[in-house]
Amino acid sequence: MPLGELFAFVSGLYFRGKLAYARTFAKAPPSTSAVFVITTSHGLVPPERVITRLDVKRMTLVPIDPADGRYRDPLSRDIRAIAESSKQDCEIVLLGSIATPKYVEPLLEVLGERLLFPSEFVGRGDMSRGGLMLRCVKSGKQLAYIPVAAAVRHGARPPSLRKG
C-alpha cells in the first residue's frame, strides 16, 4: 500500500490534511519528489512509495527519537541529499509538529534557516492543523511560512476553526 494512504488511514484528519496540502502547494522540478513523509526507520519517503507489511513492522520497532541512530541517521542522510540537490532559495516546509524536538532537531541541524513552517500552526493541536490545511486546499490559499530556527513554536491556542 502507498505510505501516504497508510498514514492517512492511521492518523485520520491530521495526516489527510498534511498530504492534501503538500500535494496541492509543493513545487519541485519535473521527475523530482516534492513531498516526503518522515518515517521512523526509512528516512524521508515519498507518500506514493508502496510499502510492505515487513516495512511497517520494521518501522514499529524504531522510536522517533533523535538520540536513536536508527531514526536519525536515515533522516539526516535524506535531508542532506535534499539540501544539496536543491537551490538555496528553495523553501523547505515542515508540516509536522514543530513543538517537539523529535522532528525539528535533525532537520534544523542540516537546513538551519531554510527550514520553514506555517506560522498558523503555533498553539494548534494535530486535528486543528489538519482541518486548517484542508481548508487551505479548498480555498487555494497557502499558509504563511516562517523560519523554524528563530520562531516561537509554543503559544496561546488560537480560536477554534469555524464550522464550514
Q: Which residue has the cell 544539496?
A: 84
Q: What does the pLDDT read at residue 13?
A: 83
Q: Give 87's DSSP letter.
A: -
In a domain, 154, yes or no: no
Q: Which residue has the cell 505510505?
A: 3
- Domain count within the chain: 1
Q: What does the pLDDT read at residue 164?
A: 60
Coil, helix or strand for 49? coil
Q: Which of 148, 160, 44 is nearest to 104 (CA)?
A: 148
In a domain, 80, yes or no: yes
In a domain, 48, yes or no: yes
Alpha helices in 30-125 (DSSP H): 53-60, 69-85, 101-111
Q: Say how far apart CA 75 and CA 29 lie, in whole Å.
A: 22
User: What string of DSSP letters covers 119-164?
Assistant: GGGTT--HHHHHHHHHHHHHHT-PPPEEESTTS----PPPPPPPP-
Binned at pLDDT 50, 70 and 90, residue 19 comes out as: very high
- pTM value is 0.85
In a domain, 158, yes or no: no
Q: What does the pLDDT read at residue 98?
A: 80
In a domain, 162, yes or no: no
User: Tell me, what amino acid is at 164?
Assistant: G
In a domain, 126, yes or no: yes
Whole domain around residue 10: which residue ranges?
3-147
Q: What does the pLDDT read at residue 154?
A: 53
